[in-house]
Structure 1
Amino acid sequence: MQALTRSEPGIVAEIDAERSSNDSEYIRDLIRREQERSAELEAVRFALIEGESSGEPRPFSADDFKKKMLTAHG
């Protein structure tokens, strides 16, 4: 793995803009955001697979759905 130093332009700009107080904080924030993004992407993939596995699609009418909900829940 290549070491990152403060001389990397993106790190310098981020720290100079005071969004991070030091190199380590900036790198930890990048890793945390990437982990969050990966988890969100995995959740979307899972939902897509679940939807595809749920069977044939059925017609949907937004108006009928609204009427049904209003009848059931006032």
Structure 2
Amino acid sequence: MPNLGNTRLDHVLSHICKDFEKILEFSLIVGLPLGVIEQVCIYGETHADQIISLLLVLMLIFSAFAVRKIRKMRAKEHER
């Protein structure tokens, strides 16, 4: 495979780099939401009234998006 290199070492290093990229991507997908949740919890200890109202607004927004997505999925099912 020319895109992975011409020698065996290039080939192995290319696979190692691709696997490391997948590990970093997974870590970012898992770590970023956990970091945000941790910061919200830390801030919420001293500003509970602001966090509760913010979480209620976010819940309403996410619920609206979920309802919209479910309706689109059901509409596609009925078209088939």
Query: TM-score scaled to structure 2, two decimals?
Result: 0.43
TM score, norm. by length of structure 1: 0.46
Q: Which has the higher helix share?
A: 2
